[in-house]
Structure 1
Amino acid sequence: MEVLNQNQMYQADQMTIETLGIPGETLMENAGQAIVSEIAKNWGISTQIVVLAGTGNNGGDGIVIARRLLNLGYQVQLWLIPPEEKVRDAAKVHLELYHRHQYPVFHYGEELYPAIQQADVIVDALLGIGMAGELRPPYDRIVQEVNQSKAKVVSVDIPSGVNAEQATVSQAVRADITYTVQYPKQSAFLYPAASYYGMLQVVDIGIPPQTTDSLEYRKYTWGEKEYQSTKVERSPNSHKGSNGKGLIIGGSSYMIGAPVLAAQACIASGIGLLSCAFPNHILPIAAQKATEATFLPCREQDGNLVQVEIPGSIQVVAIGMGLGRTEQTCQLVKNVLAQDKPTIIDADALFYLNEMWGIVDNRSSVTV
């Protein structure tokens, strides 16, 4: 799944509207409809819902959500935080449509805060991906009241106060669930910002996939679909020796778990034959946890590996998990890189990588 930053999302919106001819009002209606469909799956019509709407597209989504929930018979209060004259563009169109339905709009005032505390569900449509800097009044107090309430909090696209691109957060809504529009935003995967999203769910609003084709620095997350696409179909006549041979080099006296977990993950991924180069004294423990692996005899000193002979049949090597930061580890990493096999450098082995870029640059095999 593709992940966008603020400017990339703006570009996708702009191309959808200006080049492909899908009006912004339609995208806003689609967003509201998609989120209402999800809300209806989780809460019944007796639920007391407060929708908090700011300016811009995020607030416009909130206005659509309030109207559609009211159409379904939900008990909804739409609280508009800015003055109505500050609502513009597609959001203004939907506010006018809301008025034509003769549904009430509650305007910001002290009466908002008791409504927040009495709500069962709060829909946060205050601030969208354009948020930058710290929250200003009255948004800072509103966010504080939302976080102190007992209501379930649903954020639209992004929790208000969270920057779409950055990990750091000063003050923001702590959502129970965030329905993000079309593409997840970068901060949804950067902590501590990611912790404000609650459960993240992407809703499709009809932005065509070709709108991101020309973006630079494209980023993706891997889910089950992407994982399944990498799996190689195996011949019924195959055996473990014909489905990949790997080696994990790791472990020391006080760090046994890391290399064992790496071995278990490697086996679970479907490798045909896994060999492990661990210190001899931890083999009885490791062999019980990774029963499918084979173990190579290795030289060790004071509980640390000092030499590993890599069999010529090995096709890929991973090194570093639990090795410890010793001179022996540094030399082992150099020796592995000199083999010019596809190599994963991890954990303690990364500590020495800065002094080995010349070796890495001269390798023809992949280094991760």
Structure 2
Amino acid sequence: MNGDLIEFEETGIIKPGRMRAVDRNAMHLGVDGLRLMESAGFGLAGVVRRYSPDLVLVLCGSGNNGGDGFVAARHLQRDSEVHVIYPEDRVKTPDAIANLRLLGHCSVTLHPVSCPDDVSGLSGLYENADVIIDAILGTGARGDLREPYASMAKAVSLSGATVISADIPTQGITPDVVCGFHRPKLHGSERIDIGIPLEAEIFTGPGDLTMIPAKDSAAHKGAGGRVLVIGGGPYQGAPYLAGMAALRAGADIVRVASPVVMPCPDIIVEELEGPCISESHLEDIIRLIEDSDAVVCGCGLGDKSHDVIVKAAPFMKKAVFDADALRKPLPVPGGIGEAIYTPHAGELERISGYRPEGTLYDRAKAVSNIAGNIAKHSTVLLKGGTDIITDGSRVRFNRTGHSGMTVGGTGDVLAGVCGALLCKLPAFEAACIGAYINGCAGMAAGEAAGDGMVATDLLERIPSVILGDITGDIE
């Protein structure tokens, strides 16, 4: 891989959800959870050693954050007197359990606790500790502290020890140092490199799917998103491929506004009279736009209807512009509306004058500059052997796909998937995840049909990709 791509690695604060995605991508690339935990705990121990403590008290929770603490305790056993407090019979992740078991073979004193009285019985350790490691709760913590964690946190507040938190501070604990693994989650944290491969962050992977919001069990019809597809005329099937892809990617309600009526019981068809979409349809189109969370434009549109899309765009909250919508002047949603533009190389040249060429790095730099000059809140997804996704400040790559995806219609499927995701996610994230899903579906279809695949083969595989049953395994 071109070493220059490290320029596209993001720095600074990373949100917990994105960190979980990067972790999962790293595991998919072959860095297992135990190795990540070992690196985190080793780095944490290194920070503790700076204080040359005689007594270290490690407070561990039941998850992987606690596992990081167990590893740190093991690495500190020859430097200090080490005591570990953890919830009795509640350590639950396999990697944390494995590292707790290892402490049974180390010069470390273990103190399982289950209630406030157990914690108060260990008050002397809090009083005498030189350093306390807070590895109780990590980035997945939700809600108020429960026991015995609440009592553990309260005891820390009464201690005079130096407090070092792993990744993020546990509620109620004010640390002296926060160790941010891979990237900080809070301002002022100290970054600890844990050996995550570059590609886990700058390439899409199965971890990205974890960023798709789960539908609430009490959700009502429409909660998954309302997508409008505007297209068709010269090319009949394209808007329906996009519409079905949006449904398969999780949208609840999909309407297709088109001059072409095709039997498709899952889609609400809004027939527009005439051979192509024209300005006489503008009032009806705007009415439909106002009842939609995201709009997909351009699939099968032809070159005679672009002015209609440009005039309708300011009424859109969020939009995906594909195929024949990718002409000058570019349509732009109104206000703070977000847009995804999905050109192939020829369409990018048509809207920007730039023909993608050179190395992947060269193309990414150029496309990033183009995206930054389109409009605020816009993302460009340049389709190719390796897709380039950029909002002008961030760049990500997707290499899932199959040579058979040169068949007509796969781009319409991508546009529909992005439209569904755009109902729930910001444009950049929706484009990255959409590219990954579409490529994985194409890989699975290609494995079954080779170069004989058709675009409809992708549709039935989209849900399996989102569920994680199909992944984009790259050699």
- TM-score normalised by the chain length of structure 2: 0.39
- TM-score normalised by the chain length of structure 1: 0.50
